[in-house]
Amino acid sequence: MSDTKKILVPVDFSANSDKLVNYAAAYAAKFPASLSLLNVIENPLAYEGLVSAKFNEEMKAAMESKMNKLIDEHEDKCDISE
């Protein structure tokens, strides 16, 4: 039996990331553990002022939508959150 209580999975919404989330969700369901997904948006151009605030907001909204979709796909299998 595993002592794992919490699992943190970094996601970038790639095919490999999807496979990792599937594996982690199955693991979390087998050994009752909570699963947290993490996506970091790095935009180095924002530091230079080359990207508009609107673009950043749109990027954030798109990533939140993708994250919510991932959570919806797995919430019936395990305790999952962002």
Domain membership flag for residue 25: yes
Alpha-carbon distance values, 36 to 48, 53, 74 (Å): 32, 28, 11
- Distance in angstroms (rounded) separating the CA atoms of residues 70 and 13: 9
Domain membership flag for residue 23: yes
Residue 79 scores a pLDDT above 70: yes
Domain membership flag for residue 71: yes
pLDDT per position as a tens digit, 3-12: 889 999 999 9
Structure tokens at 35: 């699963």
Domain membership flag for residue 57: yes
Structural domain range at position 63: 6-81
Domain membership flag for residue 1: no
Alpha-carbon distance values, 33 to 13, 45, 68 (Å): 22, 38, 19
pLDDT per position as a tens digit, 27-62: 999 988 999 999 987 766 666 667 677 877 888 899
How many structural domains does the chain have? 1
Full-model pTM: 0.79
